[in-house]
Every structure is written in C-alpha cells, then in structure tokens.
C-alpha cells in the first residue's frame, strides 16, 4: 500500500497501471486520481472518492437492473430484487475490486498504510468510484461496458447459485419438517435441439406432485419447480407455467 506522498512519476505510473487493469484510458486524469483516493489520503474529503462512490452506486444499480430485466424475462419482481441485492452488494463489489488488484493502487493516508490489508469496504468503495469516474469521463457506454464485463459473471453466479439453491433448500427444510421426507425432482419432458434444450421438471413430496416448470437447463427447471411447490404449499398460485 502506498500513501498520497507519491512522487509525480510514481503517481503517473500508478494511474497508467490502473488504466491497463480496467481497460479504460481517462481523458481527465483527475477523475481517476479522485476515484483512487481514500479520505485518509485526501487534502479534503471533497477531493476523496466519497462523492464518486455515491454516484457510482446509483449507476451500478441502474445498469444491473436493466441487465437482469433483459437477461431473465421469466423472473418475477421478487426474484429480480433478490438477484440485484446479491450482485450489487458490498461483498461482490469488494470481490471484483480485489480481483482487479485495486488494493495496491489505492491512494491512502499514512495511518492507513500501517494496516496489513485494506478493509473490504474500501475495495467496494473504489469499485463504485471507478464506475462514476468512467461515466463522467467517457459517458454511459464505457461505464456500462465496464460494469457488464466485471459484474456480468457475478450475475450468472448469483442466478445459478445463491438464488436458485435457496428455493430448493427452503423446500427441503419444509418437507423434512412437515412430512419427514425430502423432495424428489421428476423430469417430465424436454424439447429443443441438443445445443439449446429446455426441460420440464416437477417437484414431488411423497405422493404429492406439484406444478412442473420449464427451464433452460435442469438446474433452472428444478429451481422453478421448487418455487412452484413452495407457492402451492402456501396456498398461492404457482408462479411458473407448466405449458
């Protein structure tokens, strides 16, 4: 970690290294300096990355919402909200920032440089600040590309993991608690060419089979079938069609 007392050449090298990592070259280098500057390394808090973080958080949320809306046309509002909360979380932003190697590029005050590692919150802050800096420097298109490149994979992970496994986990807990058994998932039909098959799967608990659901792969179909079963067990209409 380095303090703000860099030489001019040292700062220039750091900015160039950051631009290479994020694959974007700034017209206004002051925006990049501000994005990398923690309040501890700034002459005044207004020159730190806090204001950029505020703007970047809003831009990230808007782009992710639009991305989810178009990528998952069959997801209900609640599903989309859960996915968004995972994707734009501080943990995800810090993870992406760490993967980009932002820790060694941050401009920190001397007090912060004595810490063995940068807190995750600072890594999340700099990622959001970079989004805003790119947006202010180059407009919507490069900011959107940056977000889609680095957050897009996190969307897929969230949709295939945290969100989906939650429904199956909830159904399993309910089935074990209420019926003393675990759900089974029955493949009822499939259609489409080999490279783009869709699958129709139903969840079954004991002798009770619940409304099946189609999915673009077996995992997604099982997730939706579990959601249908949970809804029916709660006396609600199944959210996913079996047609």
DSSP string, 159-202: HHTHHHHHHHHHHHHHHHHHHSS--EEEEEEEES-GGG-EEEEE
Kindly report, residue by residue over 140-178, the tens digit of the pLDDT: 999 999 999 999 888 888 876 654 456 887 788 888 888
pLDDT tens-digit map of 46-57: 768 999 999 999
62 pLDDT more than 50: yes
| Residues classed as catalytic | 57, 128
> Is the CATH code 3.30.160.20 the one for domain 181-233?
yes
Which residues partner with 213 through β-bridges?
201
pLDDT in tens, 65-106: 999 999 988 788 888 888 898 889 888 899 899 999 998 888
CA gap 25, 7 in Å, rounded: 21
CA nearest to 124, candidates 92, 84, 158: 92
Nearest Cα to 129, choosing from 203, 195, 216, 41? 41
229 vs 5, more confident: 229
User: Average pLDDT over the chain, rounded to whole?
Assistant: 86
Show me where the domains of the chain are located: 2-160, 181-233
pTM (predicted TM-score): 0.64
Return the CA Rg of the chain.
23
Task: Give the CATH number of domain 2-160; options: 3.40.50.300, 2.60.40.1930, 2.60.40.10, 1.10.1520.10.
Answer: 1.10.1520.10
- Which of the two residues, 236 and 40, has the higher pLDDT score? 236
């Amino acid at each position: 970690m380095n303090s703000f007392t860099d030489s001019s050449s040292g700062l220039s090298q750091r900015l160039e290294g950051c631009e290479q990592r994020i694959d974007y070259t700034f017209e206004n280098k002051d925006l990049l300096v501000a994005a990398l500057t923690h309040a501890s390394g700034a002459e005044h808090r207004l020159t730190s990355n806090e204001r950029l973080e505020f703007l970047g958080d809003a831009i990230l949320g808007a782009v992710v919402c639009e991305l989810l809306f178009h990528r998952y046309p069959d997801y209900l509002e609640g599903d989309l909200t859960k996915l968004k909360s995972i994707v734009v979380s501080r943990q995800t932003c810090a993870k992406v920032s760490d993967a980009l190697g932002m820790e060694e590029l941050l401009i920190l005050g001397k007090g912060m440089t004595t810490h063995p590692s940068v807190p995750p919150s600072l890594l999340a802050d700099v990622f959001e600040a970079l989004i805003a800096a790119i947006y202010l420097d180059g407009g919507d298109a490069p900011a959107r590309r940056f977000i889609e490149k680095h957050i897009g994979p996190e969307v897929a992970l969230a949709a295939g993991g945290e969100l989906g496994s939650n429904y199956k986990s909830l159904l399993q807990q309910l089935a074990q608690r209420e019926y003393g058994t675990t759900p089974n998932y029955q493949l009822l039909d499939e259609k489409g060419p080999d490279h783009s098959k869709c699958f129709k799967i139903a969840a079954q608990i004991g002798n009770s089979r619940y409304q099946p659901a189609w999915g673009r792969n077996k995992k997604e179909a099982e997730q939706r079938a579990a959601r249908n079963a949970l809804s029916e067990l709660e006396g609600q209409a199944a959210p996913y069609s079996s047609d």
